[in-house]
Amino acid sequence: METPFVFGKIATDQNFTDRRVETERLLQNFSSLTNTIIISPRRWGKSSLVTHAAKQLLMSEENVKLCMIDLFNVREEEGFYTLLAKEVLTAVSSKWEEIAVNAKNFLARLIPRISFTADVESELSFGIGLEELKRNPDDILDLAEALAVSKNIRLIICIDEFQNVANFGDSLAFQKKLRAHWQRHTRVAYCLFGSKRHMLMDVFANVSMPFYKFGDLMFLQKIETEEWIPFIRQKFQMTDKVIERDEIQLLVELVDKHPYYVQQLAQQVWLRTEKFVVPSIVKEAYNGLIDQLSLLFLNSMETFSNAQLGFLKALIAGEKQLSSKQTLQTYRIGTSGNVARIKQALMEREVIDVQGNEITFQDPLFEAWLKRDWFK
């Protein structure tokens, strides 16, 4: 029997959980062509939310096209231009021949090279010479707007892993160029998100950066336990298994409402259940999940300095005054100035999240493993 829980990939349709308020807000932004930035820790469901809202938009409104772009493997400006042009052309064209015509009409100065495979899974190969790109990048940055105007459509461009632009050579100049073009578009809206919260915060929430106040800034929150209860209960019922409210609450709270881990732990509980879920099954599945991830966690420990390990130990112990003389000495963190440097380093590695004076672990199972095994 196929497991009813989905994690590690886009959750759609009946696998998508809650996010009603966020979905409605995103739909309104899409419909009104309001630019949107979505920020949250990794694996909280940003991609699933965008996909879910986009599907609803396409079903409810006409003359709207959607362009999904992933910058995961894009590390330089030229690669960004090529991918953007390819995906925009594909999104607004209904057949291969139309792509070639649009490229010729709107990117003539760039002399794009286009080829198609003739097999069952037809694929577009798109390339532009580096020298042409350096001379005429504006044509690509305005391609979406030009196509949308000519076809009398609205275009929503969703870009995942957008924080990667911060790693481009002369990133600041590149971001200024993007902002200068995109803020003038009237037929195109941009939805920008990614998996590195601290980098996205610097790009979009830093007053000195070009993309500051570029659009509606959405900070995703965890899905509350009350929203998980009917979802998980129904998934079990669909497969003739029973899980009651108390067991669902236990399951969700053990992983601190982390969306990815809720689905993963639910799957492990489901696999261990013949008919009725009892608390011992949930706890056994929880510890089994920590065991499953322990080698990954163990390997990561080798990359921390002694001072960072001391800092993590202090967090696990519940210390609040991390810069106090006693804490610094007890956990061998070093100087008080070292605390700020360690915080920054662990934030960049996405180990911790810092909001005001509150420091939390981004991965609740890593935190649990530290308590149970490493610092026992």
What's the pTM value of the predicted model, to 2 decimals? Answer: 0.83
The answer to whether residue 338 scores a pLDDT higher than 50 is yes
The reported pLDDT for the residue numbered 222 is 86
The reported pLDDT for the residue numbered 8 is 58
- What is the fold, at CATH topology level, of the domain defined by 303-374? Arc Repressor Mutant, subunit A (1.10.10)
The reported pLDDT for the residue numbered 128 is 67
167: its two tokens: 């790693």
pLDDT above 70 covers what percent of the chain?
Answer: 89
370: its two tokens: 């530290």
- Residue 132 vs residue 83, higher pLDDT: 83
The answer to whether residue 205 scores a pLDDT higher than 90 is no
The reported pLDDT for the residue numbered 375 is 94
CA 139 to chain centre: 29
Phi, psi of 154 (to 5 degrees): -110, 145
The answer to whether residue 46 scores a pLDDT higher than 90 is no
Q: Helices (DSSP H) in the chain: which residue ranges?
A: 20-31, 46-60, 77-92, 96-106, 130-135, 137-141, 143-151, 171-182, 197-205, 225-238, 245-254, 259-272, 279-301, 306-316, 325-330, 336-348, 364-369
In b/e form, how buried is each residue of 308-341, taking b as 16+ CB within 10 angstroms? bbbbbbbbbeebeebeeeebbeebebbeeebbee
Q: Does domain 19-219 have CATH number 2.60.120.10?
A: no
Among 357, 320, 353, smallest CA distance to 366 is for: 353
Domain boundaries, the chain: 19-219, 225-299, 303-374
The dihedral over CA atoms of 135, 129, 87, 25, expressed in degrees to the nearest 10, equals: -30
Phi, psi of 65 (to 5 degrees): -120, 150
- Helix/strand/coil for 89: helix
246: its two tokens: 């108390």
The answer to whether residue 125 scores a pLDDT higher than 70 is no
Tell me the per-residue pLDDT of 229-276, one tens digit each, with 9 for 90 and over.
Answer: 999 999 999 999 999 999 999 999 999 999 999 999 999 999 999 999
Across residues 109-136, what is the average pLDDT?
62
Sign, CA torsion 266/268/270/272: negative
Phi, psi of 114 (to 5 degrees): -125, 135
Q: Does domain 225-299 have CATH number 1.20.120?
A: no
Max mean pLDDT range (19-33, 45-59, 95-109) = 19-33
The answer to whether residue 35 scores a pLDDT higher than 50 is yes
- Helix/strand/coil for 311: helix
The answer to whether residue 183 scores a pLDDT higher than 70 is yes
Rg (C-alpha) for the chain, rounded Å, is 24
The reported pLDDT for the residue numbered 198 is 83
Contact 46, 40 (CB under 8 A): yes
